Amino acid sequence: MKNNGPPMIFLMLLKKTSPPALWICFAKETSQGNMQASDRFNINSQLEHLQAKYVGTGHADLNRFEWAVNIQRDSYASYVGHYPILAYFAIAENEAIGRERYNFMQD
């Protein structure tokens, strides 16, 4: 039996850790049907819009080094913004909390 109805699409949500946190929906087609060209264009245009708006989402020409730098920058920003983890690093390195904050902001 052939299914003549619209194709079934599952949406997968991926949480990005770059500030501000955003959710990106990717469509995955099932074996019961094909995605139409307009669906693909709509999804790709939404992804391109988010990539242009938020640096942390990356783009097609992003190399491995730039990706790693984005991850490091976002991680350090999170460490500075969350006092408990900043205190944890300060205790682990036997430094003052202000010194740890300064070090993270310099790197």
Q: In whole angstroms, what is the distance from residue 49 CA to residue 42 CA?
A: 11
pTM: 0.52
Q: In this predicted model, what pLDDT tens digit does every residue of 78-102 receive, in sequence order? A: 999 999 999 999 999 999 999 999 9
The per-residue pLDDT for 34 is 67
What is the rounded CA–CA span in Å between residue 75 and residue 39? 34
Cα 63 from chain centroid (whole Å):
15
Q: What is the pLDDT of residues 20-54, one digit of tens each?
A: 444 444 445 444 556 677 787 788 888 888 878 88
